[in-house]
Amino acid sequence: MSLDKPYLDVPGTTIFDAEQSRKGYHLNQFCMSLMKADNRTRFKADERAYLDEWPMTEAQKQAVLARDLNRCIALGGNIYFLAKIGATDGKSFQQMAGSMTGMTEDEYRAMMLAGGRSAQGNRVVGEDGDAQAHRQPQGRAGQQKGAV
Amino acid sequence: MARITASVYTSHVPAIGAAIDLGKTTEAYWKPVFQGYDFSKQWMKDNAPDVIFLVYNDHATAFSLEMIPTFAIGTAAEFQPADEGYGPRPVPKVIGHPELASHIAQSVIQDDFDLTIVNKMDVDHGLTVPLSLMCGQPQAWPCPVIPFAVNVVQYPVPSGRRCFELGKAIGRAIASFDTPLNVQIWGTGGMSHQLQGPRAGLINKEFDNMFLDRLIADPAGLAQVPHIDYVREAGSEGIELVMWLIARGAMADIAGGGKPHVAHRFYHVPASNTAVGHLILENPA
Measured between CA atoms, the residue of chain B closest to residue A90 is B86
- Smallest Cα–Cα separation from A136: which of B200, B187, B72? B200
Contact A10 B272 (CB under 8 A): no
Integer Cα distance of B125 and B133 in angstroms? 11
Cis peptide before B270 (omega within 30 of 0): yes
Residues of chain B falling short of pLDDT 70: none
What chain A holds in terms of domains, given with CATH numbers, is 18-90 (1.10.700.10), 101-117+133-148 (no CATH)
Which of chain B's residues have a Cβ under 8 Å away from the Cβ of A13?
194, 196-197, 199, 231, 236
**What number is the ipTM of this complex?**
0.95
Query: What is the per-residue pLDDT across B172-192, written as a single tens digit (0 to 9) for each?
Result: 999 999 999 999 999 999 999
- CB nearest to B201's CB, from A16, A80, A117: A117
Contact B198 A25 (CB under 8 A): no
- Cβ–Cβ contact A60 with B under 8 A: no
- Cβ–Cβ contact B229 with A under 8 A: no
Q: What is the pLDDT of residue A2?
A: 86
Burial class (CB in 10 A: 0-12, 13-18, 19+), B67: exposed
Catalytic residues of B: 125, 193
The domains of chain B are located at 3-272
Query: Judging by DSSP bridges, how do beta strands B116-118 and B71-74 pair with one another?
Result: parallel
- Cβ–Cβ contact A5 with B under 8 A: no
Query: What is the per-residue pLDDT across B80-113, written as a single tens digit (0 to 9) for each?
Result: 999 887 789 999 999 999 999 999 999 999 999 9
Confidence category of residue A143, pLDDT binned at 50, 70, 90? confident
Q: What is the pLDDT of residue B100?
A: 98
- Does the pTM of the predicted model rise above 0.90? yes
Query: What is the per-residue pLDDT across A77-132, written as a single tens digit (0 to 9) for each?
Result: 999 999 999 999 999 889 999 999 999 999 999 999 999 999 999 999 999 999 99
pLDDT at A49 over 80: yes
Q: What is the pLDDT of residue B229?
A: 98
Fold of B3-272: Protocatechuate 4,5-dioxygenase; Chain B (3.40.830)
pLDDT at A147 over 60: no
